Amino acid sequence: MHSDIRRIQLDDKQVILIGTAHISRDSVNTVRQVIEDEQPDTICVELDEQRYQAIRDPHRWRSLNLIKVLRSGQGAFLLVNLVLSSFQKRMGMGTGVKPGEELAAAAEEAENRQLHLSLIDRNIRTTLLRAWRQTGFWKKLQLFSALLSGLFDNTRLDEEQLAELRQQDTLSALLQEMGDSLPGIKTILVDERDRFMAYHISRAPGHKIVAVVGAAHMPGIQKNLPCHVAEAEIEEISRIPEKPRLSKLIPWLIPAVVLTLFVVGFFLGDRSRLTDAAVAWFLANGVLAALGAAIALGHPLTVVTAFVAAPFTSLNPAIGAGFVTGLTQAYLAGPTVQDLETVSDDMATLRGWWGNRLTRVLLVFLFSNIGSAAGTFLALHWLKDLI
- Percent residues over pLDDT 90 in the chain: 32
Q: Please determine, for residue 212, whether its predicted confidence score (pLDDT) is greater than 90.
A: yes
Alpha-helix runs per DSSP H in 93-167:
101-112, 124-133, 137-149, 159-165
Based on the domain organization, do 80 and 46 belong to the same domain? yes
Rg (CA), the chain: 24
> Which candidate, 3, 15, 62, 2, places its Cα nearest to that of 207?
15
Pair 83, 224 in one domain: yes
Pairing of strands 42-45, 5-10: unpaired
- Looking at the structure, tell me whether residues 330 and 224 fall in a common domain: no
Element (H, E) at 16: strand 13-20
Residues 6 or more apart in contact with residue 341 via CB below 8 angstroms: 59, 61, 62
Residues 357-374: what's their mean pLDDT? Answer: 91
pLDDT the model gives residue 303: 96
Identify the domain containing residue 56 by its residue range: 5-88+96-237
pLDDT at 386: 55
Phi and psi, residue 116, nearest 5°: -70, 130
Q: Is the pLDDT of residue 172 over 50?
A: no
Asked if pLDDT for residue 133 goes beyond 90, the answer is no
Q: What is the pLDDT of residue 368?
A: 94
More confident residue, 378 or 42: 42
Same domain? 267 vs 228 = no
| pLDDT confidence bin for 299, thresholds 50/70/90 | very high
Confidence at 316, pLDDT banded by 50, 70, 90: confident
In this prediction, residues 70-91 reach a mean pLDDT of: 69
Domain end, chosen from 237, 253, 288, is at 237
Range with lowest mean pLDDT among 57-66, 127-136, 173-182, 253-262: 173-182
**Strand ranges inside 140-233, DSSP E:** 208-214
pLDDT at residue 1 in the model? 42
Single-letter code of the amino acid located at 67: I
Which pLDDT score, from 0 to 100, does residue 252 have? 75
Amino acid at 209: I
- Model confidence at 194: pLDDT above 50: yes
Q: Is the pLDDT of residue 345 over 60?
A: yes
Question: Do residues 79 and 14 both lie within one domain?
Answer: yes
Indicate whether 375 pLDDT > 60: yes
Query: 214, 237, 260 — which closes off a domain?
Result: 237
Report yes or no: 120 and 205 within 8 Å, Cβ to Cβ: no
Domain finish residue from 237, 259, 288: 237
User: Both 285 and 187 in a single domain?
Assistant: no
Decide if pLDDT at 178 tops 60.
Answer: no
Considering the domain architecture, whether residues 207 and 272 belong to the same structural domain is answered as: no
> How many Å apart are CA 367 and CA 295, to the nearest integer?
7
How many residues are present in the chain? 387
- Asked if the model's pLDDT at residue 58 lies above 80, the reply is no
Are 179 and 51 in a shared domain?
yes
CA distance 217 to 122: 13
User: Do strands 5-10 and 13-20 pair parallel, antiparallel, or not at all (unpaired)?
Assistant: antiparallel
Strands 13-20, 42-45: pairing is unpaired
What average pLDDT is seen over the chain? 79
pTM here is 0.69
Buried b (16+ CB within 10 A) or exposed e, 338-368: ebbebbbebbbbeebbeebbbbbbbbbbbbb
Do 21 and 139 share a structural domain? yes
Q: Are residues 231 and 249 in the same domain?
A: no
Of the candidate ranges 134-143, 202-211, 294-303, the one whose mean pLDDT is the lowest: 134-143
Question: What is the longest distance spanned by two Cα atoms in the chain?
Answer: 84
For CA atoms 353, 354, 359, 362, give the dihedral sign.
positive
Given a cut of 90, whether residue 113 has pLDDT beyond it is yes
Mean pLDDT of 180-193: 75
Query: pLDDT: is 232 or 340 the higher one?
Result: 232
* Shared-domain flag, residues 359 and 230: no
User: What pLDDT shows up at residue 108?
Assistant: 93
- Total domains present in the chain: 2
Residues 183, 255: one domain?
no
